[in-house]
Amino acid sequence: MIFTLGHARTFCQDAIGSGVNPAGAKALGVINEATMHLINEGHWRHTIKPMQIRTYNNTVPCPEFVKAILKVNLSDRPAFVHSQWYEFVDGGPGTLMNNQYNTNTNDLADQGMFPTFFPIGDTAMKLIAFSTDPADTLKTIRIRGLNSNFETVSPTTPGELLAINHWGGGVEGVMNNPAGYTTTTSGFREVLSIVKPVTAGYVSLYAVDFSLATTVPEILFLGKYGPNETSPSYRRYKMTATSYLDEECVIALCKIGYVPLVYDSDPLLIQNLPAIKSMCRSVHEMNHGDLKMYREYKADALALLDAELRDGSAPEILFDVDVEMSMGSLPCAL
């Protein structure tokens, strides 16, 4: 079965703290904190997930729950996943540009964490936001970033508050009167952070240019944020040996990262209730200043997760050559 937050509230209630309501906000906070501690400690069962997307613009943006891509197939062929050092190593490809083939190998290069799926590009543009629910038109999101001169936009405000628009006729993707929608006052070359309220619908963010001598503005998709995403951040990868116009199919094996649980029906990121319970005790001891008991209960939780990895795992011999070479290149002893 798939365990949920509701299961954890009941199972862990005597570990969270004496007199704490298991259905309350404090219990939720302890369970989330316990999950945050454990998920970073290893590749536990159910924390490695496949992901399949189709993308353009040399860019592979990951969903909020993906911490990192571990392995990847590009156009159905295995490829390498390089770290952020890749563009700077001696003898490496150098800076990976949007329309430049620095290398003949089709791989991924980690670019770090960003508040949008895609970059804006070389030209500063105004931003516009739309929600799928009309109730969100009374809300705003705060956007901080850089202008065309790479200066901070409204540094003392800070950033700009952008009013959320509603799609024309309530149909996602439809703009009835593009020039009549609210945009940012400033142009943004890069978005550095977004602070968004809890919304009723999904909020899409675009870069837009209404200055063109046509009735259709230039619009670039930047990101789409779920109702409970309030401080979005996504890992982004650059694809090598491909043009920004090329379409790519990406199948990846990913490590899941921490995302706060909200609803009792939310599946637990750590699907091991005894480990969550032990870690809740650990968090309780830490919050009360007993670091010795904190470490002991945490060790118990990790031992339970290790045991789960060993239990039921089919024996296998996985030999993965993670460098560009063939077996014939291996030296042999004479």
| Residues 111 and 240 both lie in one domain | yes
- At which residue do the structure tokens 């619908």 appear? 201
Q: Is residue 60 part of a domain?
A: yes
Amino acid at 35: T
| Residues 94 and 186 both lie in one domain | no
Q: Is residue 195 part of a domain?
A: yes
Q: Is residue 330 part of a domain?
A: no
- At which residue do the structure tokens 């001169």 appear? 149
* Separation between Cα atoms, residue 95 and residue 100, nearest integer Å: 9
Enter the DSSP assignment of 169.
G
In the chain, how many domains are there? 3
Q: Is residue 316 part of a domain?
A: no
| Residues 143 and 224 both lie in one domain | yes
Domain region containing 272: 5-30+41-45+258-284+294-309
Structure tokens at 197: 């309220």
| Residues 170 and 245 both lie in one domain | no
| Residues 102 and 131 both lie in one domain | no
* Separation between Cα atoms, residue 63 and residue 202, nearest integer Å: 14
Please give the pLDDT value at position 228: 95
* Other beta carbons within 10 Å of 83: 10
* Separation between Cα atoms, residue 254 and residue 236, nearest integer Å: 13
- Answer for the pair 40, 224: CB distance below 8 angstroms, yes or no: no
| Residues 146 and 227 both lie in one domain | yes
| Residues 250 and 263 both lie in one domain | no
Structure tokens at 313: 């795992």
Q: Give me the tens of pLDDT residue by residue for the chain, a chain 334 residues long.
A: 999 999 999 999 999 988 889 999 999 999 999 999 999 999 999 999 999 999 888 899 999 999 999 999 988 889 999 999 988 888 777 887 654 556 677 899 999 999 999 999 888 999 999 999 999 998 999 999 999 999 999 999 999 999 999 988 778 888 777 667 899 999 999 999 999 999 999 999 999 987 665 566 788 999 999 999 999 999 999 988 777 667 888 999 999 999 999 999 999 999 999 999 999 999 999 999 999 999 999 999 999 999 998 886 666 666 666 655 555 555 555 5
| Residues 133 and 53 both lie in one domain | no
Q: Is residue 321 part of a domain?
A: no
Q: pTM of the predicted model, to two decimals?
A: 0.87
| Residues 96 and 243 both lie in one domain | yes
Q: Is residue 35 part of a domain?
A: no
| Residues 228 and 130 both lie in one domain | yes
| Residues 94 and 241 both lie in one domain | yes
Q: Is residue 85 part of a domain?
A: yes
What is the SS3 assignment for 328?
A: helix
**DSSP letters along 218-264, please?**
EEEEEEEE-TT-SS--EEEEEESS--TT--EEEEEEEEE------ST
Count H helices and E strands in the chain, helices first: 5, 14
For residue 334, what is the enclosing H or E element? Answer: none
| Residues 140 and 206 both lie in one domain | yes
Q: Is residue 328 part of a domain?
A: no
